[in-house]
Amino acid sequence: MHIRLNKLDDYRWEIPRTGDMRVPGLVFSSPLLIDSLRTDQSLRQVADVACLPGIVGRSLAMPDIHWGYGFPIGGVAAFAPDEGIVSPGGVGYDINCGCRLMTTSVDASSVSPRIRELVTALFRDVPVGVGTTGPVHLGTRDEAAVAVQGAAWAVKNGFGENRDLEFTEDKGVMAGADPDALSDRAVKRGRNQLGTLGSGNHFLELQVVDKVFNQDIAHTFGLHEGRLAVLIHSGSRGFGHQICDDFLKEMTGRVSSFGIQLPDRQLACAPLCSGLAKRYLSAMACAANYAWANRQILMHLTRETIQACLGITPTDLGMKLLYDVCHNIAKMEIHELHGRPTSLCVHRKGATRALPPGHSALPPSYQESGQPVLIPGDMGTYSYVLAGAPGAMAESFGSTCHGAGRVLSRGQAVKAAKGRSIHRELEDKGIFVQSRGKKTIKEEMPEAYKDVSLVVDAVHQAGLAHTVARLRPLGVVKG
């Protein structure tokens, strides 16, 4: 079925309400990006989400939107607590998959000659790839504590500093986590995967702050041109995958008993007021907390490895957490609806929270700047740091994009890489990569992604977040 798009301005396209859609769709994009959406099914998915009960405002898509399962990736939707739903597929299997950016005091040019050595050390010391286990093997009580305490558990157990919690979204802990809501399978899968990076699009990247666009905010964030930074992308591992799977299957079986008709079975959901939704949210919070603990441990392993490899002290390295944001989550948040503050369940599926200056959920030091928004690109170009802007609260339930967004399937990417050495091509650009999987580098090659600069420009121009700085990769560890 053809999805009609009405251009509202150069950065907004509306999908008018038709059929079973309860609200219109709104796609943030740009004239240079919009045409690529017509070739996959992501716009259909925006329309499908608009059919879900209790959706308010509009079914939203960020400029990095691409075809996912159920929700599009880059999709944002908010639901009223009385008539609305929560959908595990609208959060995704990798619950609280997210990014964490650390700044350092180290001049990147001083470590550039040793990037190969650093990447090799990180590849050795940070567990990556399919089937790896982490440095922490959790007993049942500790796993429950991780699920409830999140990043604070990691800090309490020696993986980082209290300061890190202040600079993590929601201080690295989601309230309402209840380990009793977890299946035996989820508990089992969570036991040995804490402190592991994973594979696919997860990565650990050494970067240099390449260009600053907003000196004041960059200074607040600790971003200075020429300095070394580290970006980590990982999530809740098999623990989160299992929780999503468990509840999706339960909701698939019960959705008709709630009187809900679905355009796509993967959108299975439960009314927010139901016991099933409450149990899911309690289990989802466990996974969100597990993911924050995971990234906290990964940061600690990274810090120790870099210090040991370069033979420098923690003071010399000066590694500080700039911020940690999640991409896949459903949260009860207060947003203005019809002129009144209203509690809504905001689903972000491959999207980032982007709070404007002055928001009460921000740490004191970011009150004037707005929330740091971390947008990784592909491993051959750039990543960006933005700051949340008032437009996000007005138009996108405080959300913006989460990355560049894929344009090639993995199979297409492998085909495009045939006869080429992507490793060599990246090395020629001064980027050293190590990966566990044989196909990973091909599947994740730069051409597989949209031009992140165009995506970032679209959210900047739309007023959802403002560009602060650009970072360039020097070394990449992949699963």
Partner 1 sequence: MKDRGGPPYTLINHTADMGVRIRGSSLKELFENAALALTDLLVSPGRHGEPAPFPLSVTGDDPVDLLVRWMGEVLYLFEGEARIVADVRIETLTSDHIEAVARVFPFDPDRDEPLNQIKAVTYHKAGITETDGQWEALLVLDV
Residue 120 tokens read as 């090799």
Identify residues 390-409 at the interface with partner 1 (CB under 8 A).
406-409
Q: Are 230 and 331 in contact (CB under 8 A)?
A: no
Q: Is 220 in the site for partner 1 (CB under 8 A)?
A: no
Q: Which of 94, 143, 451, 457 binds partner 1 (CB under 8 A)?
A: 94
Candidates 69-77, 163-171, 216-224, 337-345 — which segment interacts with partner 1 by CB under 8 A? 69-77
Q: Is 188 in the site for partner 1 (CB under 8 A)?
A: yes
Of 405, 459, 407, 416, give the one whose Cα is nearest residue 441: 416
136 or 244: CB nearest partner 1: 244
Residue 258 tokens read as 């709630």
Of 421, 432, 328, give the one whose Cα is nearest residue 379: 432
Q: Which of 29, 42, 369, 467 binds partner 1 (CB under 8 A)?
A: 42
Tokens 């006869």 belong to residue: 419
> Which residue in the list 66, 202, 347, 402 is annotated as catalytic?
402
Q: Is 66 in the site for partner 1 (CB under 8 A)?
A: yes
350 or 398: CB nearest partner 1: 350
Q: Which of 10, 245, 304, 427 binds partner 1 (CB under 8 A)?
A: 245
Q: Which of 11, 67, 221, 382 binds partner 1 (CB under 8 A)?
A: 67
Q: Is 258 in the site for partner 1 (CB under 8 A)?
A: no
Q: How far apart are CA 211 and CA 54, in angstroms?
A: 43
- Write each residue from 337 to 366 as x if it is in contact with partner 1 (CB under 8 A), else as -, in one continuous string: ------------------------------
Can you tell me whether residue 334 is helix, strand or coil?
strand
402 in active site: yes
Residues making up the chain, counted from first to last: 479
How many beta carbons lie within 10 A of that of residue 138, not counting itself? Answer: 22
Identify residues 312-331 at the interface with partner 1 (CB under 8 A).
none
* Burial label, 32 (beta-carbon count in 10 A; 0-12, 13-18, 19+): middle
Identify residues 112-131 at the interface with partner 1 (CB under 8 A).
129-131
138 or 392: CB nearest partner 1: 138
Can you tell me whether residue 336 is helix, strand or coil?
strand
Q: Is 59 in the site for partner 1 (CB under 8 A)?
A: no
* Burial label, 205 (beta-carbon count in 10 A; 0-12, 13-18, 19+): buried
Q: Is 249 in the site for partner 1 (CB under 8 A)?
A: yes
Phi and psi of 330, rounded to 5°?
A: -125, 130
Of 23, 15, 6, give the one whose Cα is nearest residue 337: 23
Residues with catalytic function: 402
The binding site for partner 1 (CB under 8 A) comprises: 40, 42, 66-70, 73, 89, 92-94, 129-132, 185, 188-189, 198-200, 238, 241-242, 244-245, 248-249, 252-253, 264-266, 268, 406-412, 437-439, 479
